[in-house]
Amino acid sequence: MKKSLVLLLILSGITKTWCQPDISDEAIVRSIADRILAETQYGFTTRTGDRYYRTAQEIPEDTLVRFKSHYLYWHYVNGVINMAMIDLGEFLQEEKYTQHCINQIYFGFDNYQVFESRRTADMPRWGYPYRELFDIRELDDCGSMGASAIEAFHRKPSQELRDYFDRIADHILNKQDRLADKTLVRKGPHEMTLWADDLFMSVPFLARMGKLTGESKYFDDAISQVLNFHKYLWNEHKGLYYHCYYSNLDRNGVAHWGRCNGWVMMAEVHLLNLMPSDHPQREAVRKILEKHILGIAKYQNGKGLWHQLLDKNDSYEESSCTSMFVYAIARAVNMGWIDKNYGTIASAGWEGLKNHMITADGQLKNVCFGTGIQDNLVFYYNRPARTNELHGLGAVIEAGIEIMRMKDLAESVR
C-alpha cells in the first residue's frame, strides 16, 4: 500500500511538472519562440568547436566547419520555423520574431558563395554549409526554405533573392522527377517514389510564387499536386494518407505516419491561404482538407494527442504531427473553410500539447527525428523522439497562433 502511494505521488509530481493551467497560450508560444531567438547564434565553428568564424570569408580554405546554431541550417525545417516566426511577429506585432526569418535568410546569402566556390566532386557530406542553397537536388533542398525566403523578400526585397526564386521554380517545374501525369516524385527508395512529405516541400512555394508573380502556372501545378497526391496516397477506408506510393510497384508503403499526414494537411492549408478566392478548383482543395480533418480526428487519443503511427495506439504520442493538425484545423475554422464545431478537435489537441508535451520554459518533447521510408512498421515505431527537435518547433508556434486567434474570434461573437 505504501509503495503504491509513493508511486502515485511521484506520478502526480511528474504530471504537475508538465501541466500549465495558469500559463497563457501567448506565454507558452513566446517561451518557445524566445528560446529559438536566444539560441540562434550567427557564424561557423570547426567540428571540435575550438574555432569560431563570424563569416564564411574568415574561414581558411582547408577548414571544414558547421553552423554555430542549428537554426541557421538551410533545411526544410528551418523554413517552417522561419514562416512561423513571421506569422508570430505579425500576430503579436513584434518585429523581433519577424526579423528572425529575414536575418536567417540574408545571412545565408551573405555567406553561401564562399562554400560554393570551394566545392569539389568529392565534397564530404559534412563541412560545407549551404549545399542545399547552391546545389538543389531534391524538393527538400528548396521548397520550404524558398517559401520562407519569399516571406523575407516581401519585407526586405533584393534582386539576389528574386533570382533565387526563379532557380527554385525552374527546379520544381522542369527538373524534379515527375510521373507521366506530372506528379512530383523522387528517385528513391524505389524508382520514382511519391513521398507524402513532398506536398509541403513544393506547394507552399508554388502558391507563394503564384501570388508573387501573378502567373497561373504556379497555382495550377500546386493544385494538381494536391489532387494527385490524394489520388495516390489516400486510404479511403482509414481516412488517412500513406507515407508513400511506389510507382514502379504500383502500391503504397506500409505506414500511416503521423508527420507525413501533417505535411499534407499543412500544404493544403498554405494553398488555401493564398489561392484566389474565385479559383474554379478551390472547393475541390477545401473538400480534400475537410475530408482529411475528419479522417485524422478518429485517431486523436484521450489526451488530445496523435500517435507516431496514427492507426497504432501502441506507437508513441508525437508532438510534430499533433501540432500540425492543431494548426491546420484551427486555421480552417478561423478562415471559415470548415464548420466552427471542428475547432474542438484543435482545442483538445492544443490542451494535450500544453499538458503533456510543452514545458514551462518552452521545451517541446516527443518530436520524431527526421524519417525516411522503409517497408516495415518497426522502422517507424523505433524512430527516435527528441526534445526540441526542429521538425516540431515551427508547427507548434503556428498551432499556438491559430488557437489564440480562434479563441479571440469566439470571444468577439459572444
Instruction: Give 265-282 pLDDT, tens digit per residue.
Output: 999 999 999 999 999 999
The string of DSSP letters for 217-264 reads HHHHHHHHHHHHHHHHHEETTTTEE-SEEETTTTEE-S--BHHHHHHH
Q: What is the pLDDT of residues 216-243, one digit of tens each?
A: 999 999 999 999 999 999 999 999 999 9
Q: What is the pLDDT of residues 372-405, one digit of tens each?
A: 999 999 999 999 999 999 999 999 999 999 999 9
- pLDDT at position 277 is 94
Q: What is the pLDDT of residues 296-310, one digit of tens each?
A: 999 999 999 999 999
C-alpha pair distances (Å), 359 with each of 21, 26, 156: 12, 14, 34
Per cent of the chain over pLDDT 90 is: 89
Domain range summary for the chain, segments of one domain joined by +: 23-176
Cα 191 from chain centre: 25
Q: Which of 216, 213, 83, 210 is nearest to 155 (CA)?
A: 83
Do 139 and 184 touch, CB atoms closer than 8 A? yes
The string of DSSP letters for 187-223 reads S-SSTTEEEGGGGTTTHHHHHHHHHHH--HHHHHHHH
Contacts of residues 309-317 at CB distance under 8 Å and 24 or more positions apart, as own/partner, are 309/255, 309/256, 309/257, 309/258, 309/377, 309/380, 309/381, 310/240, 310/256, 310/257, 310/258, 310/261, 311/238, 311/240, 311/256, 312/377, 312/381, 315/380, 315/381, 316/366, 316/385, 317/356, 317/357, 317/366
* Rounded average pLDDT over 11-26: 58
Dist. CA 168–CA 323, nearest whole Å: 28
- pLDDT at position 120 is 80
Dist. CA 330–CA 323, nearest whole Å: 11
Lowest-pLDDT choice from 60-64, 155-159, 179-183: 60-64
Q: Which of 257, 298, 260, 261 is nearest to 381 (CA)?
A: 257
- Residue 9, classified by CB atoms within 10 Å of its CB into exposed (0-12), middle (13-18) or buried (19+), is exposed
Answer whether 0.85 is exceeded by the pTM.
yes
Do 399 and 323 touch, CB atoms closer than 8 A? yes
Dist. CA 269–CA 285, nearest whole Å: 9
Lowest-pLDDT choice from 1-15, 73-87, 258-272: 1-15
Q: At what angle do helices 203-213 and 139-155 cross, to 10 degrees?
A: 40
* Rounded average pLDDT over 4-32: 61
Amino acid in the structure at residue 272:
L
Higher pLDDT, 25 or 360: 25
Q: Is residue 47 very low, low, confident or very high in pLDDT (cuts 50, 70, 90)?
A: confident
Dist. CA 328–CA 391, nearest whole Å: 16
- pLDDT at position 4 is 43
- Share the mean pLDDT of the chain: 94
pLDDT of 88 strictly over 70: yes
- pLDDT at position 411 is 87
pLDDT of 19 strictly over 60: no
Sign of the CA dihedral 28, 32, 37, 41? positive
Q: What is the pLDDT of residues 111-155, one digit of tens each?
A: 999 999 988 877 776 778 999 999 999 999 999 999 999 999 999
pLDDT of 7 strictly over 60: no
Dist. CA 355–CA 51, nearest whole Å: 41
User: CB atoms < 10 A from the CB of 241, how many?
Assistant: 29
Q: What is the pLDDT of residues 314-347, one digit of tens each?
A: 999 999 999 999 999 999 999 999 999 999 999 9
Backbone angles phi, psi at 10, to 5 degrees: -60, -45
Dist. CA 113–CA 116, nearest whole Å: 5
- pLDDT at position 126 is 73
